[in-house]
Amino acid sequence: MRDPVVLCVDDDPGMRELYQAMLNRNGYEAITVDNAYHALTVCQFKGNLDLVIVDLEMPGMDGNELAERLKMLNPLLPIMMVSGSNPETEELSPHIDAAVMKGVPIRNILDRIGLLLSERGTPPTRIQSPCQA
């Protein structure tokens, strides 16, 4: 059985490193890219993505527009928005399946990923204790 594949899209290299470490340590295969255009390319050619984490504010194409385009390619693909401001109060795209604020505990992010994947029918991962970042 393969590990669930999570695509992480963030223009901040530190966030990409955090996602890579957090996800790999907790039973996921992480793919990180620095912009929405790379994410669309990965989604089109990789084909076996289980979830996408997108940053709201990115140069070029923001997370809302990326979510809309990703759902055009795969309407069942879960998309989680991560934002530096409170995602509950922002105008989020209806294509976003979950939203969390940057800086929440890693366990919260992992729990939200697990919930989205279980709703999709993806097998659970081997979650370890949260990594220290």
- Report domain extents, the chain: 5-120
Hey, which CATH number is domain 5-120, 3.90.470.10, 3.30.2130.30, 3.20.20.70, 3.40.50.2300? 3.40.50.2300
pLDDT, tens digit, 9 for 90 and up, residues 99-113: 988 888 999 999 999
Query: In this structure, are residues 102 and 83 in contact, taking their beta carbons and an 8 Å threshold?
Result: yes
Residues with Cβ within 8 Å of residue 29, at least 6 apart in sequence: 2, 3, 4, 5, 6, 23
pLDDT, tens digit, 9 for 90 and up, residues 3-24: 999 999 999 999 999 999 999 9
